[in-house]
Structure 1
Amino acid sequence: MEEAQRIQALPPYLFARIDEKIAAAKVKGVDVISLGIGDPDLPTPDHIVDELVKAACNPANHRYPSYVGMLEFRSAVAEWYKRRSNIVLNPQKEVVTLIGSKEGIAHIALCYLNPGDIALIPDPGYPVYGVGTLLAGGVPYTMPLKEENGFLPDLDLIPEDIARKAKLMFLNYPNNPTGAVADETFYLKVIAFAKKNDILVCHDGPYSEIAFNGYKPLSFLEILGAKEVGIEFHSMSKTYNMTGWRIGWAAGNARVIEALGRIKSNIDSGVFQAIQVASIEGLLGNQDLVREMCKIYQERQDIVIEGLNALGWKVEKPKATIYVWAKVPKGYTSTSFSELVLDKAGVVITPGNGYGEYGEGYFRISLTINTERLREAFRRLQDNLGKFQF
């Protein structure tokens, strides 16, 4: 039985390969410290879990949910945006519930790409932008994210014929994997570019609430004209430590939200209502725990930055996200350096080339591990590898 061409074209998922390497090291008896996958280790806040327990005891919540999500949840999303950034959303027409934002990111390509259509994909970037494009029969066109440009795509370098043919543009700020942020000037340029070329902008913003030293990342939707050309994906995963719950949303342009809801109604049956009820509590309840979470990540970021710089790096502290993005030392590729660190120190870092061609020469460290293990990881690097040249 031959696989379809669309699946034959897919690369192995990055984190599946990392899991395999971790498993192989553990078989050898290595005490592996994984700084790889960005899966929060902090618990979901108690008040959200308590609300889930109550909602799960209600038999009404065990029936099929709404395909586009409970209006109460979508209204909570709209209220969250209003409170956060004074963004006004119609919860009935401008918000759709997702089974985690990853699902919506993959499905939006099915809504807008015909075979051969172009999607503009950031590189390095979250692999699902390109994978969703390929599954829809589309053609990914790489927008390089380079350090000298603040890891922002240079829209002026996109050829006019590509821009005219492009149907989608994926963006992600605060950025995974680089930790970069975007300002209003950049977003206004994106909106003008999208209007000129009739492109749908899909902004992925799951790290907007994880920021440091008073910095507040912009939502794409708060920029003038954003809803005319795009939508924003978000989720409960990183803000409320709910990665396993699988709930998120897309918000913005009403026509696009309707199209995404329409395709979802033919593919899935929505999110378990008890999870939606609990998520309402997260969105509308006390946000002090989110601020405390950022303090914990700040402490971990300090350990990582100080640890890297003590070993020869000169890494600046990111303003946001749960990641640190750094160059590999002289004489190494992303893969060879990641393998060296695992083999010699039992520490997992993510090779930058797993995020695309322009991730080569970098690696990513996730802050989703406690301070004791982080310090142990850098002790191992110091003891087994020492200082590096750049």
Structure 2
Amino acid sequence: MTYAHGMVAGKFYPPHAGHHHLIGTAAKACDRVTVVVAGSTVESIPLALRAAWLREVHPQPHVDIAPVVDDHEIDYGSEDAWTAHVAAFRSGLSSPVDAVFSSEAYGPELARRLSAEHVAVDPPRERFPVSGTAVRDDPIAHWHHLAPPVRGYLARRVVVVGAESTGTTTLARALAAHFASRGGVWASTRYVPEYGRIYTEEKLAAARRAAGSGGRELWLDDIVWTPHDFTLVAERHLALEEAAARAGSPVLICDTDAFATALWYERYLGETAPETLHQHNDRHHLWIVTDPSDVPFVQDGWRDGESIRHHMSARFREELDRRNLPHVVVTGRHEERLATAVTAVEALLDKGWSFSPPLTPRSLTPKRTDQGDSS
């Protein structure tokens, strides 16, 4: 049967595979579908962000995502509560609906109040045994039920930073490989390379092409750096992070980030970097600083020199302390550094995820009416 206008309603806190199955089922059965994202202001994932995730996963032109604020008390046995919630749902609808798609026990009563037919979609949740509560309680256990944008939001991002030739790249790669070797959900653990190095190579190559073959070959000291260069590096590195986080495991390992780029801005331009370069610090959860001690300096032709290693290492620590960003300093041989880093990441993961609790129903029993439902 094809319906003219179907509705799906929920908190989507956060969206998961069961939600997507519900919306997909409605989309196949209706000429139009309105997905009412009824979020409360007490919830910690912004309503607009949940709506954006759903629009990305369900881009069909006949599926409309309608976020509405619903702070009303949840009490399925209260007439006043029902009236308030239905009014909130109606505010997201551009026209009446003739079908309500739901996996919830309250679905039939909601459909009746909207003068619509109720379409039950896998009420026992056998196809996708997951719920928003289960995801909030243990995102790792339900990682496979989450769409890429939700994974990108929830992934714990660990950044390895340090002065030149202090083993940052070696450690970042080893750390990602360590977690990937655990298999299961961790097998897709990603490593994000330092984009600044890539950009430097591209910038030098471009300068050499522009100079032509008549004269000495240009090298690093001939490159002119501008604030715009550092902004580009930070933005493009973040884009690589986003792509990796969406496709990866619950932890993402990054070789440097915008925080590090800001300190290299200071080093090469001789002035404090704008705060805009630090605006993504809240996307990262742990910084691992590679100390220069016990690591011999290796000049690969792309580095400033050994003389600034200790100065830059000190600046990383100072700035992390000043901004009160969680970090750990690793020293010793590579094996010791890796062990310290693994312990720090495990401690981060053991803390779990923090979600503000949603509004709690006062009555779990849907209101019963003499009329029954219209399904």
TM-score tier (shorter): under 0.3
Instruction: Report the TM-score, using the length of structure 1 for normalisation.
Output: 0.22
Which of these two proteins has the greater Rg computed from alpha carbons? Answer: 2
Instruction: Report the TM-score, using the length of structure 2 for normalisation.
Output: 0.23
